[in-house]
Structure 1
Amino acid sequence: MTLHTSIGRINITDQVISKIAGTAAKATDGIVSMTAGLVDGAVKHLSGKRMMKGIQVKISDAMVSVELRIIVQHGLKIHEVCHGLQRNVREAIEQLSGLTVAEVHVRVEGLSLS
């Protein structure tokens, strides 16, 4: 994404937005991990630096759409955890990048029993 200012351009890559979203997800209560999706019938868990693997970012016309694939802690209200995640991701991206978040889609791919 390229933003034009009075003194030049600012380029923000999808990877930067993905890192912001991953950091916000990691800080959200009830999120155990991100997933890269189903691999050979098992969920592949990711964390730390590789957390962006469970995140897809699309930027167009200074509007950001994010999709996150997550594992939620068992025993918590999934809809509340996901709503908190959506709010945290939107706030973090908008505050740190200056871009507007149009959508934050969450796909719950599993529950952690530990």
Structure 2
Amino acid sequence: MSDTITGTLSVSNDVIADIAGYAALSCYGVVGMAEQLQGAESVRLLPGQRLRKGVLVTSDEAGLRVDLHVVLESGVNMKSVCENLSSAVAFTLQEIAQIDPAKLSVGIHIEALKNRLG
């Protein structure tokens, strides 16, 4: 019973940021999203309902860029976590928002390392 509906899908940058933030939180090694505090050298770990503050979404002729500002768990292999994170966010955005992966780039910014229990 799957009918194809013609038309276009328009998704706001805020919705894309929310989707990317929740996809990031589901990845191993990610403690949370981070917000850079203005005028300070420190970052703040964001609660679940404010994840989009840790995600910057920009678009141009080349496509869509999603920059994630994350806090990782201490002791994890950062390269592996970042590769997994980038892949998971791209897959989730492709599945939910129908974003072409060829026109999507994901940037990972590690803002802090933290013990999950501390």
For 2:11 and 2:54, the matched residues in 1 are separated by 19
1:13 matched to 2:12:
yes
- Residue identity matched to 2:55: I
RMSD (CA atoms): 1.9
Percentage identity across paired residues of the two chains:
28
Unaligned runs of 5+ in 2: none
For 1:100 and 1:63, the matched residues in 2 are separated by 9
**What is the TM-score of this pair, normalised by structure 2?**
0.82
Moved more, 97-106 or 83-92: 97-106
**What is the TM-score of this pair, normalised by structure 1?**
0.85
Unaligned runs of 5+ in 1: none
8 Å Cα contact 1:62-1:100 kept in structure 2? no
Q: How many residues align?
A: 109
Higher strand share: 1
2:43 counterpart residue number: 43
How far did residue 61 of structure 1 move?
A: 5.0
- Residue identity matched to 1:22: G
Moved more, 30-39 or 64-73: 30-39
- Residue identity matched to 1:74: S
1:111 counterpart residue number: 113
How far did residue 27 of structure 1 move?
A: 0.5
Q: Go from structure 1 to structure 2 and tell me whether the alpha carbon gap of 1:75 and 1:107 turns closer, same or farther (over 3 Å shift).
A: same
8 Å Cα contact 1:64-1:100 kept in structure 2? no
